[in-house]
Amino acid sequence: MDENNVEIKEFLEFVYTFYKSMKDAKVELVYEGEITHQITKAFTSLTETNMQLTEESNNTQKKVFHVMIECLQNIGKHADPMNPEDFNKDGRGVFVLCKNETEYTITTGNIIQKHKVDEIGSSLDNINSLDKEGLKQLYKHQIKEGRLSNKGGAGLGFIDIAKKTGNKIHFHFAPINDDFSFMVLTSTITR
């Protein structure tokens, strides 16, 4: 086999391994790329249709829809471009929706400027430390005091996800270089 054929074969094997990993992790939907408003609408509508077909409870459907919207809009509005030319484009990142017998998990990953890591991390730690009543108070405080950012974010997304799901938000920051980190967030909706 020449070198080109070896490469193709490796790639085909990679696709199969990738497929198996997705099945093992019970991935329902996975995407990497720019998160536009159209993408957000398409993914939520597709997921709604699937949940209706599988007769998921109304309550779970609403929560999954809600968390998907907030997570996708978070990437679209807050992912930072590594290339300054992409500054005015919608943010890009990876989106993964998994479903098993007991829960849905919604995971997003995107690049952020490194200097934001501490602030986002401590804000998430704070949210995770609060109970239902504490989250309610924080939500009320933020909706009153917060201002809509120029990208249309209200700073309420994480608080609302924690409040609506009743579960902790798991997160991880992986350093990319001196200026950027990769942020991964997972929200869980109990079925």
Residues forming the site for other proteins (CB under 8 A): 37, 41, 45, 58-59, 62, 65-66, 69-70, 73, 136, 139-140, 143-144, 146, 148, 152-154, 156-157, 160, 164
Buried b or exposed e, range 54-90, using 16+ CB within 10 angstroms = eebeeeebebbbbbbbbbbbbbbbbbbbeeeeeeeeb
Write out the two tokens for 188.
């869980």
Buried b or exposed e, range 41-51, using 16+ CB within 10 angstroms = eebbeebbebb
User: Which amino acid would we find at residue 155?
Assistant: G
Q: Which is nearer to other proteins, 108 or 181 (CB)?
A: 108
Q: Least distance to other proteins from the beta carbon of 147, Å?
A: 8
Q: Which is nearer to other proteins, 12 or 154 (CB)?
A: 154
Q: Which is nearer to other proteins, 20 or 141 (CB)?
A: 141
Q: Which is nearer to other proteins, 26 or 41 (CB)?
A: 41
Find tokens 């994480």 and name the residue: 158
Q: Least distance to other proteins from the beta carbon of 148, Å?
A: 5
Where is 167: in which H helix or E strand?
none
Buried b or exposed e, range 16-37, using 16+ CB within 10 angstroms = eeeeeeeeeeebbbebeebbee
Q: Which is nearer to other proteins, 100 or 126 (CB)?
A: 126
Q: Least distance to other proteins from the beta carbon of 39, Å?
A: 11
Q: Least distance to other proteins from the beta carbon of 109, Å?
A: 20
Q: Least distance to other proteins from the beta carbon of 143, Å?
A: 5
Where is 147: in which H helix or E strand?
none
